């Protein structure tokens, strides 16, 4: 890390790390020495301050090129966004910069973005945010958006645009994005010749490592591995929930599990980068008493940390991505990975017990990726699923009006529903057109789930009258 950037005071740095007042509580940075508040800090000194409080970030060696990659990677799909004014919904660049700078100082050196993240704005922001640091001190990952590619020339324009957005002349880890459909894969990457083009970019050094991210079935997975391509890495959805069960609504004819994919890749000496270690946040808080089991076993650890430790304990994992929207997420993850402690056999059993309890709850398995959006009829699909899961599943909303807590839970659900969703975005706006079904990487029957939410909401509205 380089010490040439503009200097700030230690007090400013500590406030900046915690977003101001947030630092005053039990933040991991609380208690750092402030007797030299006016002392200027460069990047190396910031890193030393974090290491002193935590420890060294855990790294994994890329077996192909000896890259030393942080076991915690930054997933750049969920930066904080502005909520007011003309730029509402766009990346909050000031807070996003704080998050990236803190992650970098904490030893995170892998940053995963994509052409379509944040409505096409993520790559350019990441390029600006990391520009201050030496290029060889971090690894950039981005992806070819096969879903929207219309020709080889189109793919070439996208790749050049990505280099410009990221302000670099090479990509460290480049992926074929969201490989989930055999017909689409063959058309874009084989018929159009996009795969040959990307392999040529690798020969030229403009791509250092080439891989693919995957959301398909076992037939497509095996096909990808059968190709005469020496893949450098593969990105899969892996978490302790999907390890043996596979994703929700798995392909009945060609099912896939995280363990099955991981084992096949390990057998071929292809390292794994992990997406959705928290299953879109679902594993950060477990319903049905799962939280209590984990907190009893380790009161000082967050529920989310168990999911990250499960992933990091697998030896063929190169990095585990986390989309850290808030400073609290980042602080907790830094504590998990700096230093990193693999799960013990006893902790694996505890995790399975918590999973068994929580799986009895009927959560909608949405990860909040927003690939289903925009809905042609304005329905806020991921927002509605998130609200339902939080209020009904995670809070274990009483189902009977005779329960003494029912009225409070009902009012909280309806209040949040009516405040958060304009009538034009509510579940009853869904007409079942199916446009979302073709886009969902989790294969959720979205119209059916929206219909269930609508019936549930109407039923408890009637109970209020």
Residue 455: how many CA atoms within 13 Å on its side-chain side?
6
Q: Residue 9 — pLDDT band, cuts 50, 70, 90?
A: very low
State pLDDT tens for residues 19-49: 433 332 335 444 444 434 323 456 777 788 8
Q: Lowest mean pLDDT: which of 107-111, 173-177, 285-289?
A: 285-289
Higher pLDDT, 443 or 425: 425
* pLDDT above 50 (res 57): yes
Residues 6+ away with beta carbon under 8 Å from 27: 17, 18, 331
Stronger pLDDT, 132 or 357, i.e. the higher one: 132
Coil, strand or helix at 455: helix
Provide the whole-model pTM.
0.79
Lowest mean pLDDT among 15-19, 37-41, 159-163, 166-170: 37-41
Task: List the domain boundaries for the chain.
Answer: 1-53, 57-358, 381-464
Q: Look up residue 5 and give its two tokens.
A: 């950037």
CA–CA separation, 140 vs 164, rounded Å? 13
pLDDT given for residue 10 in this prediction: 46
**Under a CB-based contact definition with an 8 Å cutoff, are residues 188 and 225 in contact?**
no
**pLDDT for the residue numbered 410:** 76
Of the candidate ranges 63-72, 203-212, 314-323, 405-414, the one whose mean pLDDT is the lowest: 405-414
- Is the pLDDT assigned to residue 394 strictly greater than 80? no
As a whole number, mean pLDDT of residues 183-196 equals 98
CA distance 340 to 59: 9
Q: Which of 144-148, 242-246, 303-307 has the lowest mean pLDDT?
A: 242-246
Among 58-67, 155-164, 246-255, 350-359, the minimum mean pLDDT is found in 246-255
DSSP state of 119: G
Instruction: Please give the span between the terminal C-alpha atoms of the chain, in angstroms, as a whole number.
Output: 62
Poorest-pLDDT segment among 73-82, 293-302, 455-464: 455-464
- Scored b (16 or more CB within 10 A) or e, 107-126 reads bbbbbbbbbbbbeebbbbbb
* Mean residue pLDDT across the chain: 86
Closest to 176 (Cα-Cα) out of 204, 134, 136, 147 = 147
| Superfamily covering domain 57-358 | NADP-dependent oxidoreductase domain (3.20.20.100)
Kindly list the distances between the CA atom of residue 311 and the CA atoms of 60, 357, 365, in Å, as whole numbers in the listed order: 13, 20, 19
Reduced 3-state DSSP string for 255-314? CCCHHHHHHHHHHCCCEEEEECCCCCCHHHCCCCCHHHHHHHHCCCCCHHHHHHHHHHCC
pLDDT of residue 217: 93
Is the pLDDT at 18 greater than 60? The verdict is: no
Give yes or no for a contact between 142 and 148, defined as CB atoms under 8 angstroms apart: no
Would the pLDDT of 4 be above 70? no
Average pLDDT over residues 418-431: 85
pLDDT digits (tens, 9 = 90+) for 441-460: 777 888 888 887 886 777 77
């Amino acid at each position: 890390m380089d010490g040439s950037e503009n200097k700030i005071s230690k007090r400013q740095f500590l406030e900046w790390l915690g977003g101001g007042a947030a630092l005053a509580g039990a933040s991991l940075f609380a208690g750092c020495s402030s007797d030299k508040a006016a002392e200027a800090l460069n990047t190396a000194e910031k890193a030393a301050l974090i290491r002193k409080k935590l420890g060294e970030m855990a790294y994994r060696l890329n077996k192909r090129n000896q890259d030393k990659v942080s076991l915690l990677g930054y997933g750049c799909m969920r930066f904080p966004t502005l909520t007011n004014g003309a730029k509402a919904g766009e990346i909050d660049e000031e807070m996003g910069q704080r998050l990236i700078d803190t992650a970098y100082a904490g030893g995170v050196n892998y940053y995963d973005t994509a052409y379509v993240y944040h409505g096409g704005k993520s790559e350019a922001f990441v390029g600006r945010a990391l520009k201050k640091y030496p290029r060889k001190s971090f690894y950039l990952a981005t992806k070819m958006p096969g879903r929207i590619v219309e020709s080889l020339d189109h793919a070439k324009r996208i790749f050049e645009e990505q280099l410009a957005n990221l302000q670099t002349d090479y990509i460290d880890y480049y992926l074929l994005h969201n490989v989930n459909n055999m017909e689409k894969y063959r058309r874009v990457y084989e018929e159009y010749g996009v795969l040959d083009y990307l392999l040529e970019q690798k020969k030229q050094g403009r791509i250092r490592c080439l891989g693919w991210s995957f959301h398909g079935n076992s037939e497509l997975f095996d096909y990808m591995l059968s190709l005469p391509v020496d893949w450098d890495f593969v990105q899969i959805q892996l978490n302790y929930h999907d390890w043996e069960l596979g994703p929700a609504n798995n392909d009945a004819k060609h099912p896939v599990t995280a363990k099955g994919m991981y084992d096949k890749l390990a057998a071929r000496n292809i390292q794994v980068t992990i997406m959705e270690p928290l299953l879109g946040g679902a594993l950060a808080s477990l319903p049905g008493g799962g939280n209590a089991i984990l907190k009893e076993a380790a009161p000082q650890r967050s529920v989310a940390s168990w999911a990250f430790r499960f992933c990091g304990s697998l030896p063929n994992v190169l990095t585990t991505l986390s989309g850290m929207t808030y400073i609290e997420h980042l602080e907790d993850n830094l504590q998990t990975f700096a230093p990193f402690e693999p799960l013990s056999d006893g902790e694996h059993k505890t995790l399975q017990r918590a999973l068994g309890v929580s799986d009895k709850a009927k959560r909608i398995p949405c990860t909040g990726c927003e690939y289903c959006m925009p809905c042609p009829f304005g329905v806020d699909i991921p927002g509605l699923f998130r609200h339902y899961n939080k209020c009904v599943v995670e809070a274990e909303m009483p189902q009977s009006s005779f329960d003494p807590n029912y009225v409070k839970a009902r009012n909280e659900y309806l209040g949040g529903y009516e405040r958060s969703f304009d009538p034009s975005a509510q579940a009853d706006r869904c007409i079942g057109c199916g446009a979302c079904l073709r886009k969902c990487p989790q294969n959720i029957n979205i119209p059916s789930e929206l219909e269930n939410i609508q019936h549930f909401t109407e039923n408890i509205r009637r109970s209020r009258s």
